[in-house]
Chain A
Amino acid sequence: MAIAQAMCNSFKKELMEGVHNFKNSGGNTFRLALYAEGGGGKSSTTATLGFGTTAYTTTGEILNSGSYAAGGGELTRVDPSVASSTSTATAFTDFADISFTTATITAMGALIYNDSSSGNSAVCVLDFTSNKTSTSGTFTVQFPTADASNAIIRIA
C-alpha cells in the first residue's frame, strides 16, 4: 500500500532527542499535508508514506486548490495530557480539526509533520482508507476524541 497509517519511526527517535514540542503555548508548528494515490497528485508519482517516512515530501502531494496550498494547513495544538497521575497510564496529544474550503481535492491520506524542525520532520501518516473528494467545497479532517483510547497520538 502506498499510504499506510503509522507513527513514523524517526518521530519516536526524535521524541527522545527533544525535537518535537506539542504544547499549545510555545510549541512547534505542525502541519497536515494531503496526498493522493494515483491521479490527483502534483506528479504522476504516487506518494509512498508509512512508518519509514522521515520528512515532508512534495511527491504525490495534492495540487493547490481553494485554501489548500503546498505544505498543507497549520494545525492548532492541544496541550498533551496523561490519562492518570496515580497509575501507569497513556499520554496523548491532540489537534483541532482542520478544514480546507472552496477546494477541489481528492486525497487518500495525510502526513503530519513538524514545520519548525530543520528538515520538516515527519510525525505520523494518516490513511483515509479510500479516496475522499471535495468539489468546490470543504475538505475537513476531524481528529478523534482526545482520550487514552482514541487520541491521534498516544504513548503508553
Chain B
Amino acid sequence: MFNINFSEVGSVNVKTSHQGGLTNEQIADLAVDKIASISDQAPPHVRQQAKLFKEQLKVILYHYLILARREERGTIIQALRSSGQKEMAEYIRRL
C-alpha cells in the first residue's frame, strides 16, 4: 500500500498599492521573500543570521531598484525629447 502523508497549500504574500504601482520598498520585499525563507523549525541563531541576511539583501535590492527605475525614466525622457514631446518629457522628469 502506498500512503500519501500530506498534501498542503503554501501561504501567499499579497502586496497592494494606491494611486499607482508598487513602491521600491514593496518590490524589494517581494524579491527578498522569494530569495530567502526562514523555517519555523530552524535554530534561533540560524534564524537570526537569516534575518540579518534578508535585511542586508533588501538594502542592496532597494538601491538597485531605484537605479533601474531612474535609468528607465531617463531613457523614456530622452525618447520623448527626441520625438519633440518636451512637455511630456518634463512632466515625467518631475514625477
List chain A positions with a Cβ less than 8 A from chain B.
Answer: 5-7, 12, 97, 101, 105, 107, 110, 124-126, 128, 132-145, 147, 149-156
List residues of chain A with CB within 8 A of the CB of B12.
Answer: 110, 126, 128, 141-144, 152
Stretch at the interface among B29-37, B54-62, B67-75: B29-37
- Shortest distance in angstroms between A84's beta carbon and chain B's nearest beta carbon? 15
B9/A137 in contact, CB under 8 A: no
B39 at the interface (CB under 8 A from A): yes
CA distance A30 to B22 in the complex (A): 25
B87 at the A/B interface (Cβ < 8 Å)?
no
Q: What is the bound-complex CA distance between A94 and B42, given in angstroms?
A: 23
Q: Which residues of B contact A (CB under 8 A)?
A: 4-22, 30, 33-34, 36-37, 39
Q: Could you say which residues of chain B place their CB within 8 Å of the CB of A139? A: 14, 16
Would you give the shortest CB distance from A68 to chain B, in whole angstroms? 12
CA distance A145 to B6 in the complex (A): 18
Q: Which residues of B contact A97 (CB under 8 A)?
A: 30, 34
Closest to A92 in B: B10
A72 to B22, CA, bound (A): 20
A143 adjacent to B10 (CB under 8 Å): yes
CB proximity of A35 to chain B, nearest CB, Å: 13
Given contacts A126-B12, A137-B20, A137-B22, 5 further A-B contacts (CB under 8 A): A128-B14, A138-B17, A150-B37, A154-B7, A154-B9
Is A154 a contact of B10 with CB atoms below 8 Å? Answer: yes
